[in-house]
Amino acid sequence: MLSLSSRDVKFLPGVGPHRAEILEKELGIRSFRDMLYHFPYKYVDRSRIYRVGEIDGSMPYIQLKGQILSFETFGEGRQRRLVAHFSDGTGVADLVWFQGIKFIAGKYKCHEEYIVFGRPTVFGGRINIAHPDIDPADRMSLSSMGLRPYYNTTEKMKRMNFSSSAVEKLMENLFHVIDGETLEETLSPAILASHGLMSLSEALLNVHFPKNPELLRKARYRLKFEELFYIQLNILRYSRERRNRFGGIVFGKIGDKFNTFYSEYLPFSLTGAQKRVIREMRRDMGSGRQMNRLLQGDVGSGKTLVALMAMLIALDNGYQACMMAPTEILASQHYETLCRFLGGMDVRVELLTGSVRGRKREEILEGLVAGEVHILVGTHAVIEDNVVFASLGLAVIDEQHRFGVEQRARLWAKNRILPHVLVMTATPIPRTLAMTLYGDLDVSVIDELPPGRKPVTTVHRFDSMRASMYEFVRGQIRMGRQAYIVYPLIEESEKMDIKNLEDGYKIVCEVFPEYKISKVHGKMKPSEKDAEMRRFAQCDTQIMVATTVIEVGVNVPNASVMVIENAERFGLSQLHQLRGRVGRGADQSYCILMTGYKLSEETRKRIQIMVDTNDGFEIAEADMKLRGPGDIEGTQQSGVAFDLKIADLARDGQLLQYVREVAGKLIDDDPQAVRPENAVVWRQLAEIRKRNVDWSAIS
């Protein structure tokens, strides 16, 4: 018997070469197995039949049983629509089609019993159901009495009448062709038994054609369990393998530099959260295994300082440290911050970016090899091949989502001893996602802002209130503050309604003739950008007109207003990052989100979340729920294909945590992967690794 993955879907009854092509192109379905794992996105209870007479305007999808009395067509060309007047004796509903009219008119007949399924709208006293599903009333199917599955189809498929119910029919055929026997179980008997899981074949049948909600729940649970279990097993195994291969440098002591800094140079006391994170890092770095820690903390929570203290521990143990940032502006800002903090201490800090050349560059490189440079701050330049450290003990990576996995890997490649790694991000990744993405990257959180910060006040304003917004900005500048005005795009794009930066800049210049105005965008040379940022930071200019290049890290505590134009065009995490540019000093700061009047439901929610909360984690969770995890910033760039078929990282966090423990325990019990009772599991893992080649890069 051929395995399901090697049986071409075109040989499934009802498919054939033409539909096979569509299935592959539109849904990525090639084999019988792909088809089986194309799960319904919802189910509708088909045990209840409504009457036309009871329909009101607020109903979800419903089912009616009756006859078509007559057909009518209206309009011409693209306006054309077909209406079937449908009745069950209690009233008339109009079934309406805008596409596939010829097909529909030929397929259904007047005065025959049909079951009609769709979502009714009530308009001027008339009931409409657009593009309903219609089946002969006598048709018996697997789903006719229970919950009926609904499958995602694309616009193109709908135009070809390849609808959800067509997919449903193919699915029935599939279950007739493969009898339960050929579905090989993918979890071990022990796991099935101890977690009360359904068998795979039962689960697959019930996820497509559930007899009742309880069976559906069990089926979905089993499939989610399996999906998350193998993801975790895979990551955990890779990370154990890695851990076995590389030990970690032991930072056994806390010495002079750390202690001197702490008692004599630190200008304020650490927050409780900062202290906790430093303790966590000390424990990691003293443990004999390589630290691999993700440090999450909202903008302004004081991550840089924490990183500095970790670097001092490295120095105290005779090692060097480096800190990498995604842009030159950020790198030089970190450099300045570190120099300021360390001013007077005997620590040599250098800055290495693409624009450091010639003699200066040579000096730095020589200092590194000789071990005389203690801390190197820089951009990607830091991991170029000609940059050689005497003994790199700790690498700090800021804003990880712009710093790809490959770049991290190069860091490993260039050191015989593996440095400890601290990844810092201000884009909080929900815990579930972090676990899935990073496996055994330990996570620390700074969940407390330094004292005295006032939360940024955020408001939403429509374009029509622009004049009063400008007045507000002027008021703040008169009080000695500065303002950012951010635009989404740099050039006139295909959409004419986007206010571009250049136009915006002109307007701002006209509105504020009395002030000096900076302009920064992504297409400027780094040196120009830096110069302009510096002017603003030194308060030579009062307003900074910019694109999102200022999104990360820039620190100008005197700036108290962040105006975001076309806020509807930004994602939540971007808005939050931008807002984080203000509220860095002791003054009350403001974020003004400007939008047009027409906003989609989702956009409205996004803006509302920004107005309601300053909490980055809440925002990240909300973002994940609104957009789904695949869209979270950082997941695309990290090269992980999130191809979850049934589990939902936004909702199944608890289950994820649970299966992670199950997977961890299995590895602990069977580290060599040889125990016969786990054979099924290891075989399945090998299969999965074959299917997704890229996992090794992640943890």
Residue type, 694: D
Q: Which is nearer to ligand ADP, 429 or 517 (CB)?
A: 429
Structure-block tokens of residue 295: 């440090």
| DSSP bridge pairs for 42 | 150
* 3-state SS, one letter per residue, for 2-59: CCHHHCEHHHCCCCHHHHHHHHHHHHCCCEHHHHHCCCCCEEEECCCCECHHHCCCCC
Beta carbons of 384 and 359 less than 8 angstroms apart: no
Residue 269 beta carbon to ligand ADP: minimum distance, rounded to whole angstroms: 6
Q: Which is nearer to ligand ADP, 63 or 271 (CB)?
A: 271
What is the number of the residue whose Cβ is closest to Mg ion? 553
Residue 330 beta carbon to Mg ion: minimum distance, rounded to whole angstroms: 8
Residue 341 beta carbon to ligand ADP: minimum distance, rounded to whole angstroms: 8
Sole window of 68-76, 247-255, 267-275, 476-484 interacting with ligand ADP (rule: CB under 6 A): 267-275
Q: Which is nearer to ligand ADP, 307 or 352 (CB)?
A: 307
Q: Which is nearer to Mg ion, 220 or 293 (CB)?
A: 293
What is the H or E stretch that residue 421 is in?
strand 420-425
Using CB under 6 A as the binding rule, the residues of this chain from 513 to 572 that contact ligand ADP are: 555
Beta strands in 489-625 (DSSP E): 517-520, 543-546, 559-564, 590-595
Residue 63 beta carbon to ligand ADP: minimum distance, rounded to whole angstroms: 55
Contact flag: residue 270 with ligand ADP (CB under 6 A): yes
232 binds, among ligand ADP, Mg ion, none (CB under 5 to 8 A by kind): none
Contact flag: residue 301 with ligand ADP (CB under 6 A): yes
Contact flag: residue 11 with ligand ADP (CB under 6 A): no
Contact flag: residue 660 with ligand ADP (CB under 6 A): no
Which residues fall within 8 angstroms of residue 319, CB to CB, at 6 or more apart? 249, 251, 391, 392, 393, 394, 419
Contact flag: residue 302 with ligand ADP (CB under 6 A): yes
| DSSP bridge pairs for 297 | 446
Interface with ligand ADP (CB under 6 A), residue from 95, 116, 200, 305: 305
Query: Which of 100, 60, 103 has the alpha carbon at shortest distance from 80?
Result: 100
Q: Which is nearer to ligand ADP, 167 or 556 (CB)?
A: 556
301 binds, among Mg ion, ligand ADP, none (CB under 5 to 8 A by kind): ligand ADP
Query: Which of 517, 335, 294, 554 has the alpha carbon at shortest distance from 425?
Result: 294
Contact flag: residue 297 with ligand ADP (CB under 6 A): yes
Distance CA 140, CA 145 (A): 9
577 binds, among Mg ion, ligand ADP, none (CB under 5 to 8 A by kind): none
Residue 253 beta carbon to ligand ADP: minimum distance, rounded to whole angstroms: 24
Sole window of 86-94, 109-117, 269-277, 436-444 interacting with ligand ADP (rule: CB under 6 A): 269-277
Which spans of this chain sit near Mg ion (rule: CB under 5 A)? Answer: 553
Report strand pairing: 559-564 vs 482-486: parallel
Q: What is the DSSP letter of 263?
A: I
305 binds, among Mg ion, ligand ADP, none (CB under 5 to 8 A by kind): ligand ADP
Using CB under 6 A as the binding rule, the residues of this chain from 436 to 465 that contact ligand ADP are: 450
Residue 347 beta carbon to ligand ADP: minimum distance, rounded to whole angstroms: 17
Distances (CA, A) of 575 to 482, 515, 568: 19, 26, 10
Interface with ligand ADP (CB under 6 A), residue from 200, 314, 426, 666: 426
Q: Give every strand in the sheet of 126-130, ordered side by side.
A: 120-123, 126-130, 92-97, 81-87, 62-74, 114-118, 133-136
Q: Which is nearer to ligand ADP, 270 or 405 (CB)?
A: 270
Contact flag: residue 339 with ligand ADP (CB under 6 A): no
Residue type, 45: D
Return the C-alpha torsion angle 382, 388, 389, 394, nearest 10: 40
What is the number of the residue whose Cβ is closest to ligand ADP? 302
Contact flag: residue 274 with ligand ADP (CB under 6 A): yes
Query: Which of 308, 290, 278, 661 has the alpha carbon at shortest distance from 444?
Result: 278
Give residues in contact with ligand ADP (CB under 6 A).
268, 270-271, 274, 297, 299-305, 426, 450, 555, 584
